[in-house]
Amino acid sequence: MDLGLDVSERGKYAVLSVRGEVDVYTAPRFREGLIELVTEGKHQIIVDLEGVDFLDSTGLGVLVGGLKRLRSHDGDLVLVCTQNRILKVFEITGLTKVFSIFDSVDAAAAAGES
C-alpha cells in the first residue's frame, strides 16, 4: 500500500504533506520522514493530512511522538485536516486538545506568524 510524503516550505514552517494510508505498515516511513526534518533542524512543522485516506492509532502515535520531539526543541507540530473521518479519530482520542488543527496550510502558516 502506498504512502506518499512531500516536503515543502511555507514561511518559518516545513510542510510535510502525507498521501495515502497511514497504518502499522506505512507508519515507520512517516516517522522517518518527520525525524529527518527534525534532524535537518526544522523545528516548526506543519503536517498536511488532506491527502490521507486512512489513519489509525499507529499514525496518531507518530504524530504524538513528533510533537513531543519538537517541543523538546522548543518547536511545534501543527496539523492541516478538514476530513471528518480523520478528524473524528483525533476527537475520540482527545488529541484535538493537543494538536492545533487548521483548515489549510495557509491558515496554519498565518497562525504561526501572528
Partner 1 sequence: MIDEVVKLEIPARAEFVALARLVVSAMAASDVDLPDERVDDLKLAVSEACTNAIEAHDATASPERVRLSYWADDRGLGVRVEDRGPGFDPAALPDHPPVTDPARLKFERGLGIPLIRALVDEVEISSSGQGTAVRLLMRNAVASD
Question: How many residues in the shown chain lie near partner 1 by CB under 8 A?
Answer: 26
Helix, strand or coil, per DSSP, at residue 101: strand
User: Quick one: 7 or 89, whose CB is closer to partner 1?
Assistant: 89
86 burial (CB, 10 Å; 0-12 / 13-18 / 19+) is buried
Q: Per-residue x/- marks for partner 1, 5-24, CB under 8 A?
A: ----------------x-xx
Of 47, 86, 40, 94, residue with least CA distance to 67: 47
Q: Under the rule (CB under 8 A), what is the footprint of partner 1?
A: 1-2, 21, 23-25, 54, 56-58, 60-62, 64-65, 68, 84-85, 88-89, 92-95, 97-98
